[in-house]
Structure 1
């Protein structure tokens, strides 16, 4: 399955706790769209969130965010994992 990294730029007020709740909503919604959210990272100072997701396409990944909590990504990149 293709791998994507999405980026959310939300500005001030982003907290790990809020992102954890949004991620839990993603996990509860992802199965309907054949998507698997794997990990996320938060830069509270910059107000940015980064999500790593397996999805059939970028739109399916964004649809999960839209359905789960409404915070769609600003950008989504197709990525390949390296070591």
Structure 2
């Protein structure tokens, strides 16, 4: 299954606790769309969030965010894992 990395730019600070709550909502929603969110990274002071997911398409990954909590990514990139 393809891997996708998405980038959220919130335009202000974000707390790791709020991102963790949104991630839990993703995990509860992802099965309906054949998506599996794997990891996320947060830059709290710059309000940037990066999410890694296995998904059949970028649209499927975006749909999980939209359905789970409404925070859609600014950009989504298909990526390949390296060492």
* Range of TM-score over shorter length: over 0.9
How far does residue 13 in structure 1 lie from its aligned partner after superposition?
A: 3.0
* In structure 1, C-alpha distance between the alignment counterparts of 2:28 and 2:52, rounded to whole Å: 16
Aligned-partner SS, 2:4: strand
Q: Which sections of structure 1, spanning at least 5 residues, go unmatched?
A: none
Given that residues 65 and 71 in structure 2 are in contact (C-alpha distance below 8 angstroms), is that contact kept between their aligned partners in structure 1?
yes
Provide TM-score, normalisation by structure 1. Answer: 0.98
The answer for the alignment partner of 1:79 in structure 2 is 79
Does the alignment pair 1:23 with 2:34? no
Q: Structure 2: which 5+ runs fail to align?
A: none
Determine the structure 1 residue equivalent to 2:60. Answer: 60
- TM-score, structure 2 length as denominator? 0.98
Mean alpha-carbon deviation: is it higher for 9-18 or for 32-41?
Answer: 9-18
> Residues 4-51 of structure 1: CA distance to partner in whole angstroms, max 9, x if unpaired?
000000022311000000000000000000000000000011110000
Specify the alignment match of 1:40 in structure 2: 40
